[in-house]
Each structure stands twice: as structure tokens, then as C-alpha cells.
Structure 1
């Protein structure tokens, strides 16, 4: 069995021209070597897998090559690599400094590559400072790190810094296509694009993913095989979800989300990808910005087609809703419900309000077969107007409500009219908007034809004429209620004027004490203590109280509204006012804390302090 070498090692660049995506740095290093302008301390910094160590090795090999030497010579004896993650002590740096003094046996330079240099300890950095600032002529130091901010400034100031950038999706995809061609693998463009996106700017990660997918799919590298192996949500999923959202198809959208979860995907990953998909659709709406979309040409056509169907307002609202769901996902207890609610909200953004009307509430145009029949105008008699206005009628009156026109149950046959235990229930209640319509309907019943009115049935001698009043919100009753309410308001005003009477200072102090007790029962201990600090005094219509500091005054003013409301109601006087004065020299009349109580007792008996200190007592 032949030994397998991973692509990251097999296709490691051997020259600066082979380095992917770092043209600015490689050109700078080549010009520095050709012009003999290379610094003796270099710092390569950037994300993982972008070529820092590779460029350091190519540089170490390049500066030792002569024009007539073998290009395959690696100068292994002149290159020293130190892993600072495991050799980060002062002793390791001292051993390195001792080796630096020895000149190279082959070539011109000895190159020291220190990887993950940010892992060195503070003492190791300090021991390395002098050598890094003034190294021998034959020594060149190349420091590599992914976290430049962890290196002390004194080291940074002695190095020439090169910032490596992330590999773009386009560059990574082209390099993967080159490797696939070298290996004889038929790879789809979309498949390589997904691998490049999954690598997130690291070429080494892209090559590792490529090896894994090739092991899964063999010589045919398809997009379906890549998405299945990497377990990623491709653009087809988001295109389908967006179509369902635009169609307001909430049931199918929820089923799609359930299918995504069943394949092991995280809801957080799905909703974040959906927000990115909406962003890509906005980019595709303008032909000038469509190149910002890092996808293949075939995929761009699909995005552009869907972007024409999605309004800009919908995309902006969709991004807002998806971002809110993304922010709340980790703190939510029911994360699936959160995403489902977000999807339902997204599907309701373009939902027409007319669709919300049920068809059962809409009368179709062909419901009526013929033209509408106009309602004949009805006339109201003078007697009926009096009933409407005054709500008074006699039993058997034709203008009265229909229930009132029924014959007396006492004079009716038992089989026709059942007994009614409460005659008052025969009356009918009308609202202020109904009397005119009611009279019209009654007129249509009592007067079938215009100009002919049914005569009222005469009351018998045994049945006395009873005056009845209709209870309810009739015009007369509403007017009567308004008059009663106006009289009540006038009575309240007169009562309020009468409340502005006199009261004694003792009554005021008793009301003050009652309010204090109420506050104490509510748990407002501090407020109750402040109100007990001084006894309020009455000066005319003003209540005066003196407090020892401004803090107590502010605390009492906080409840001044409720306090004065209670006092005004209790003393039957609305003209009283509260006046608060501050006298910092005033002696406290109450001790609020145990320490203050002890101080008050100590003033009366100084021996208490000696007793406390002798027995080491706590207060």
C-alpha cells in the first residue's frame, strides 16, 4: 500500500510564485532580496493556514541560493524552526542565543523561524530583546503568529511586520481546481466553491476538506456529494425557503424547517444563513453590485431570478427579523419555537390584508338575482312621537310598544295567553338610537296602509288605565340623568367649600401620626422615622416641620403629594400646605441605628465606652 500524503503537504508551495493569495507580500520579499534590502527581524502575522510558515521557509531557502546552485537544495542545516508553544521558557531562548553566535557552514545566512511566538513568556521576551535588536550579520529571525496583539510592543518595534490576509473564495477555488486537475478528478465548480466557502479563508483547511470529500465521492466531485459529506446548507435550501416565504406558505415552510432539523442542522445556523441569503438577494437586485456575490455564474443567475421577485422592503424587513432571531437565539429557552415564529413573521410580511377576510363573510356579486326592492317611507303619527319623547303610554295604546299592546292576561283565555307573574317584564327597553326605528316598525304593523290607522281597543271598566314608563336609556331618561349628575357636581362643589373649615393643631398632629403609622405598616421604615424626627407645627394654613439635613427633606418631598392628600381629606381642608425647613445644627430627637443609640447613651454616661472596650463588646 502506497503511503498517502495529504494535499496540504504534497502541494505546499516551493517558490513565491506558487503562494496563493499573498501577491503583495511575496512581491515585497522578492524585491527586498534582489535589492539587498531585507531586514534581519521579520514578523509574519495573520489567520491560520494562509502561508506564513511556507513563506518563511521559501525566504530562508531563497536568500541562501546562489545563481549557479541547484534549485532543489533545501539548506536544511541553515534553517532552524522553533515551536514557541512548547519551548517558551528563558532557558530555551538562551540556548537559541548561544546557537546564533556560530556562523553557517554552507550558505550565507542562518534563518531562525519561531512559530507561535506569542506563546513566549514575559521573561523569554525580555531575554530575546537584545539579540533581536542587534543580531549577527549571518542571522535572520522570522517570527510567525496568529495573535499579534499578544506580543509585547518592544518586540514589535524591532521587527518588520507583514500582515497576511485571508485567502479569497475565488483564489481558493482556482487552486482547488488546479489540484483536482493534477489528480485527475472531475470536480463541479459549485462543489469547489462550497469547499472554498467552508474553509473560511484558510487554504490549509480547504485542502483538508478537499481530501475528505474526495475520499467520500471518488473521482466525481459533485455539489450534492459535498453538501452531504460536509453537512452544510447549500443555496438550494435558502432559495426554496425564500420562495415559500414569498408565497406565504407557512405550513410548507415549517415542514422544510423540520426537515432541516432532522438532518442534524442547527436552527441558529439556518436563521443566520437566511439573513445572509436576504443580503445576497439585495446585492443581486442591482447589476452593478452583483459581482459582490461570491458564487458561481450558474448560481448568480438563480439569485438574480429570485431577487427580481423579492421587493426591497421585504428584504429589509426580513434581514431585521432574522437578525433579531439570531441575537435572541442563545438566550431563548425554546429555540425551535423562536425560529418558527420568525419564519411565520417572515411569511406574513408580504401577506395581503385582503386575504385575511374569510370567503364566508364576502357576498358574491351574483347573490342577488334581481334589483333591490326599495323600502317604502313610513309616517309617524303625533301620538307615536309623544311616546318616543316622553316614554309614557296607556295600556292598549296603539302607539305604545308591541308588548304593551298585548291584552291583560287576567282578561284573556288561559289557553291563548299564559300567566305572567311579573307584569313589569312586559315593558321593553330602548336605547337612545332605537326609538325612531322602533316607531317606524310599529307603524308598519299598526298601520298597514298609509292614511288608515287601527283604532285602539277600549279599556273595560274592570281594567283600570295604568300609566307606565319605559325603563332604559331613552331620550328623557338620558336628559334626566344628566340633570342629576349636574346637581351632584354642584353638591360636591358646595361640600368642598364647606370642607375648608378650621381645625386645631392637635388634630393636624394626630392626622400626621396616623399617616406615619400607615407608612410604617407598609414597610417604609425610613420615611416613618423621618416624619417622627420633628413634631409638625401649624402656622395659619401652613404645616411647618424642621429636619436636620437635606437628604431627609428630599425623602419627605418624595411623598409630599400623598401626605398632603391624606391630611386634606382627614382635616377637611384643601388650603393647607407643607413647609419644610432644614437646620443642620438641630439636635436629633431619635436614634436610627444601634451606633447612634450607643452615642446617645454615652453622652449621658461616658463610662459605657470604657465598659465596651474592656470586654471588647460589639454594638
Structure 2
């Protein structure tokens, strides 16, 4: 049955037909809905701005230079081990190497290159993670022997599309021992068209048998300045603005990881633009918003908190703590920030050039330098130790806020106490500018309040050198130097010290031994590279071998003068031959002893019974540290007759024998 059209009905009724593209008899036909725009899924910044060439990698200049040179020279290894902390670019570098190995250039005729074109079929397929010859495996989820055997089996076949088969194994340290063993032979002698690239964050867990078959590249943490600049470029590409302090805070929280930093940057962009900040025409995203997002206290508050602690103001410290707590900040993280700030100030105090270091944020350079000027190192060290111990207490306490506040109260309390060095000098009657005290050993029977101490250390000094304070193991102390007993203050006891006596060296060998405890490097050169010409104290004449320690004579003269307290010592150099060095004399004595031992009838008889035996080290306990006999015995025979036990002597147990002398 045929249904008549509108035009047929109009003709039958004598009515004009409507236009073909006009409205129908029953009104306009509804227009078809517009085609829905294809929704593009959002890609996070860590994926969107993932490096695709060696030039895109930041903070890895050494690794990039080596790889570029390897491709330029055609010396590309068959196995790579990339190690480093999370997010520094290990897997990214592995994919760039895979593209560099398989790139054919825009014309399809190119070879391996350190600058892949990005437009050839192999580059495009690898960038899209769909190249059949570039296989990635996560060893964290596939740890068994069967998974490795699949890889080994795949190496038997030639590449299907590319020039090389590339196997990228991430977190390779997670493989089992049997899996590593199954991989060893193939890893040592892989087919010519196969390259292995391993990535790991735990290099120490990878067997050395695997490491010895790979070229290892340690990817470094990216410096904060480089991270902040990188994040600024990405933010500008996303049409978002940040203040420099905000970017520095994100870079510091990233801890050298580019991926971690980009994740934080992504989160900050989402939060800032939602609040009306960060746009092209709006105010830039500031440090306060980023600090709130990270759960950190404002950097200025951390400085204020450390100021309050060092000035002994508990009410101000607790006020800042309450402010941070009400803003949702973690007080454990706050204490960690204070600990980091103490470390930064200590570094500025130790290395003044850091005040102008661009790697440090502006707050650290200004306020940190001011704190370093007025806070002594002992106070910084004491604060560091108390905070370090307090952080562990916060993690174990049932209430983190209570634990954090108790730590700050303790720090404020000890702020009024002098450093241990000042306390010692006050007890000794010295002022704060006294010379540093010297540490010496204490007698084993040192006691405090009549109780024996397990160990002790003596610190001597004073205006007249007549006092000595002993710090004993159980926390007490005693001052030595006053002959009469004094009233006990705390845990102190006064005794008389014994003066130290220094004997000047009488011979060249004694002079060399005198130097050994004062200058180890000088002692080594005196023993091995110095020839005595004459020794007539206080005048010493020597000949020094070439390429020896520069300024040796002047250095020896200084040690002798300062060590003996006699400024008359003089050391002169001569071109005369002089005696052999002490090391050469000792070696000659050893050879004489060895020859005498080999010639002994009992040793020769033993050699005949045991033809494969060899004579071990010959030791003479009468020799000194230089292998020489005592100087009062020099006139005697250098190699005395060896003595052996009589035939009727008791036998030595086998366990007591030194078997190292025979092989």
C-alpha cells in the first residue's frame, strides 16, 4: 500500500502544493538537535607536559650529555639502569631512549639519533604507547619467573615495525630472586636487536649481578630553583599566574620530584581559579592559598614561632600554634618546618655565602640571615636536638596538639639557660670570651657524690691553667684545681690536676713518631719520602723526594716548635743523599728476617715434606711500628737467630695454629 504524499493530497483537493523545503501542513518540523561536541578528557599537567626529547628534561644535564655522546659515537649500550627518587623522569627517559633507537626521521631513512623527529611512524606510535616493539612491564605487579620468561621468549623474534625491540621494566627491584636469575643470561648476551631499560627507586635492592650487566644512570633530584622556573613556564602556558613565593613553596614541597610538583601545581590552579585568582586579569595565586592547600603554616608564622621560642615567650608560641591549628594545619608538619628552618639558619651561619644564594627563598635570605647573626651555634644545635626528639613524641602521643605545645613550652623554658660551653666557663671562673677548652681522658675511678661513674671526660683550662672540670657519664661534673674542699654546688668536686709533660724527640725516628699523633699526612711523607741527612737538635737536615708534600720542611718545623714549645727548632733541606727512608729500612729488615727464616733447617725440612707450602709473613715482635729494632739495639745483629721449641715441648692444639701462613 502506497501512502499519498502531501503534494498528491493538495493536487486532489485543488490546492497549491507547499514548497518542498517549506513548512508542512501541520507546522514547522522540529529541527534536528545539533551534534554533541566530542568531549575531550582532561589530562593532568604531569602527563600533558611530559618531556618528549632530551632537551625537555630538566636537572639531568649529566645523564643527557652522556646519552647524547653515546648516540653520536654509536656506542649505545644494550642495557640501562635508571635510578632516582620518584618523579624525576626515569620512565620518561626510558621512552625517549626507545624513540631515539627507533626513529627513522621525517623521510624514513634516518638512523638512531639523540634528537628523535617526533613525526615518523615509530615516534608517533611510541608517543601514543601503542608501538608493538616497545614493551613496558610493571615489576611491582608482575614479579614472577613466568613474567620474565615471556620477555625472554619475545627476544627471540625480530622487531615487527621498529629497528629495535625495547623492554622497559619499571620498579625492577620488585622482581623475585628467581626472576632475576632467569634474566641474567639474556641480559648478558641479548640479541643484537634488543635493548633493556630498567627503572628503580631502590638501587640497593637490585642484585649486583644485574647491575654489572647494565649502564647505570643516577637521575638527580631537581633543584628548587629549576623546579620553580619550570612550574612558572607551565603556569603561563595554562594562562595562570602565581606569585614567586607560591611557586617556591610548591617547589619545596615537591622535594626534587617534577611529577609531585606538577600534581601540586595542578591542584593549586584548580583551587586558585575557583576562588577568582590566577587568571590573566585577576590577581596571581599567592603563597597563603598554596600554604592552606598544602596544610602548611605561613612561612612568616614559622619565623615568628622560632623567634618566640628562642626569646623564651611561651604565650606568643602557643598563640601562633593555636592560629595554625584553627586554620587546619598539622602541628607535626609545623614542627617539621621549624626543624627545617633551624637547619637552614645553621647552614647560613656555617656558610655565609648562602646569604646571596638564589636557591634560598627571600624570607630565608633576609630573616634567616638576621637570625644567624644573633643566635649562636650551640643554641641552634640544642634546638635541633629537642625538635628532632619532639617530632617522634608527636607521632606517638594520643593528642598531637598537646604534644606539640609541650615541646614548644620546653624550648621556651631552655631559652633562658646558657649553652653548655658558657656554663662550663662560668663554673671555671672564665668569661664568655674565654679560649676553647681542651678535652682529655679522665681517670677510671672518677666519681660524683661518692658514686662511681662508668666513663668520664675531662675538660681542662682556666685563666692560670690551674683548674680542670670533669664531665662524668651519669650527668654530673667535678672541678679539679683547688686544693681545699669547697661547698658542693649541684654535683661538683674540687681536686688537684696533674701537669702534662712533653719530651722533645732525641732522634730522627722519635721526631717522626712525634709527628704521627699531630699531622697524619706529614707523618706519611716523612716515613716514605724523606731521607735524613743529619739530626742535631734543634737543627734537622733532610732531603725530600720529588712530588712529595709541598712545604714539608716548614710544616715539620712548625709541628716541632708548637709540640715541644721550643722555638729554636729548625728544619733545612739538602741535596745530599742521606739515609734511606724509614719505610725502606723497615723493608730491608723484613727481607733479612725472611731470608734467615727460609735458611733455617727446620723450615727447609717442612718445605720438603710439604712441597706446595709457602712461607707466610715473618713477624718479629721486638720491632717497632716502623719495622725497625729499638734504637738501643741497632748495634746488635739485625737478624738474630730464630728460636724453635725443643722436640720434647708440648704440642699446640690444631685450633690454635695460624693457618694463614700456609697455602
> Taking structure 1 as the reference length, what is the TM-score of the superposition?
0.53
Contact 1:45–1:164 (CA<8 Å) still a contact in 2?
Answer: yes
Change (3 A) 1:176 1:153: same
Contact 1:93–1:127 at 8 Å: present in 2 too?
yes
Partner residue, 2:86 = 48
Counterpart among 98, 104, 118 of residue 71 in structure 1: 118
Counterpart of 1:99 (choices 145, 151, 154) is 154
User: Which region of structure 1 is more displaced relative to structure 2, 160-169 or 318-327?
Assistant: 318-327
- The residue that corresponds to 2:271 in the other structure is 216
Do residues 133 (structure 1) and 188 (structure 2) align? yes
What SS does the corresponding residue of 2:352 show, helix, strand or coil?
coil
**Map of 2:61 onto structure 1:** 23
When the two chains are superposed, the root-mean-square deviation of aligned CA atoms in Å is 2.5
1:317 partnered with 2:382: yes
Instruction: Please name the residue that 1:453 is paired with.
Output: none
1:295 aligns with 2:360: yes
* Pairwise CA distance, 1:246: 4.4
Query: Residue 254 of structure 1: which of 296, 303, 318 is its match?
Result: 318
Question: Aligned ranges for residues 603-614 of structure 1 at < 5 Å?
Answer: none
Candidates 267, 271, 281, aligned match of 2:345:
281
Question: Partner of 1:77: helix, strand, or coil?
Answer: coil
Distance 1:243 1:196 in 2: 25
Instruction: Report the equivalent of 1:7.
Output: 45
Q: Deviations along 1:413-437, whole A, 9 cap, x unmatched?
A: xxxxxxxxxxxxxxxxxxxxxxxxx
Equivalent runs, 1:417-496 vs 2, <5 Å: none
Give structure 2 stretches of 5+ with no counterpart.
1-38, 109-116, 126-130, 279-283, 419-663
Cα distance in 1 for residues equivalent to 2:135 and 2:259: 22
Measure, in 2, the Cα distance between the counterparts of 1:102 and 1:226. 52
Instruction: Tell me the CA shift for residue 340 of structure 1.
Output: 2.9
**Does structure 2 conserve the Cα–Cα contact (< 8 Å) formed by 1:283 and 1:292?**
no
Q: Quick one: structure 1 residues 281 and 64, their matched pair in 2 at CA, closer, same or farther if it must change by over 3 Å?
A: same
1:166 match: secondary structure: coil
Where do residues 320-469 of structure 1 align in structure 2 (5 Å cutoff)?
320-332=385-397, 336-351=401-416
Asked if the contact 2:296/2:330 (under 8 Å) is kept, the reply is no
Q: 1:302 to 1:128 in 2, by over 3 A?
A: same
Instruction: Name 2:255's counterpart in structure 1.
Output: 200
Q: For residue 114 of structure 1, give the secondary structure of its aligned residue in structure 2.
A: strand
Deviations 1:544-568 (A, max 9, x none): xxxxxxxxxxxxxxxxxxxxxxxxx
Query: Residues 184-224 of structure 1, C-alpha deviation per residue, up to 9 Å, x if partnerless?
Result: 21111110111111112211111011001100001232111
Give, in whole Å, the separation in 1 of the partners of 2:363 and 2:316: 26
Q: Aligned to 2:219, which of 158, 161, 164?
A: 164
Change over 3 Å in CA distance of 1:351–1:88 after alignment to 2 = closer
Q: Distance between the aligned counterparts of 2:403 and 2:322, measured in 1?
A: 13
Contact 2:81 2:216 in 1 (8 A): yes
- Structure 1 residue 332 displacement after superposition: 4.9
Larger fraction in helix? 1
- Secondary structure of the corresponding residue to residue 54 of structure 1: helix
Instruction: Give yes or no for contact 1:116–1:146 (8 Å, CA) kept in 2.
Output: yes
**2:309 pairs with 221, 245, 249, which one?**
245
CA distance in 2, matches of 1:41, 1:252: 59
Gapped regions of structure 1 (runs ≥ 5): 354-619
CA distance in 2, matches of 1:279, 1:306: 12
The superposition leaves residues 359-391 of structure 1 with CA deviations (integer Å, 9 ceiling, x where unpaired) of: xxxxxxxxxxxxxxxxxxxxxxxxxxxxxxxxx
Checking the alignment, whether the CA contact within 8 Å between 2:70 and 2:76 is kept in structure 1 is yes
Q: Distance in 2 between matches of 1:234 and 1:246?
A: 19
Q: Distance in 2 between matches of 1:180 and 1:206?
A: 12
Number of corresponding residues: 353
Give 2:171's match in structure 1, choosing from 112, 116, 120. 116
Alpha-carbon distance in 2 for matches of 1:2, 1:104: 33
In structure 2, the partner of 1:184 is 239
- Equivalent-residue separation in structure 2 for 1:124 and 1:114 (angstroms): 12
**Structure 1 counterpart SS, 2:132:** helix
Q: Report if the CA contact (8 A) 1:13-1:19 is conserved.
A: yes
Q: Quote the Cα distance in structure 2 between the aligned partners of 1:308 and 1:249.
A: 20
Q: Identify the residue that residue 300 of structure 2 maps to in structure 1.
A: 236
Contact 1:247–1:347 (CA<8 Å) still a contact in 2? yes
CA contact (8 A) 1:83 1:115 kept: yes
Pick the structure with greater CA Rg.
Answer: 1
Match of 1:464 in 2: none
Note the C-alpha offset of 1:350. 4.7
Instruction: Report the CA distance shift for 1:90/1:287 in structure 2 as closer, same or farther (over 3 A).
Output: closer
Give secondary structure in 2 for the equivalent of 1:101: coil
Residue 19 and residue 251 in structure 1: after superposition, are their counterparts in 2 closer, same or farther (change >3 A)? Answer: same
The answer as to whether partners of 1:281 and 1:304 remain within 8 angstroms in 2 is yes
Cα deviation code 1:312-361 (max 9, x no counterpart):
443333223323323444455665454334323333445499xxxxxxxx
Q: CA deviation at 1:56?
A: 0.6
Please name the residue that 1:584 is paired with: none
Checking the alignment, whether the CA contact within 8 Å between 2:225 and 2:358 is kept in structure 1 is no
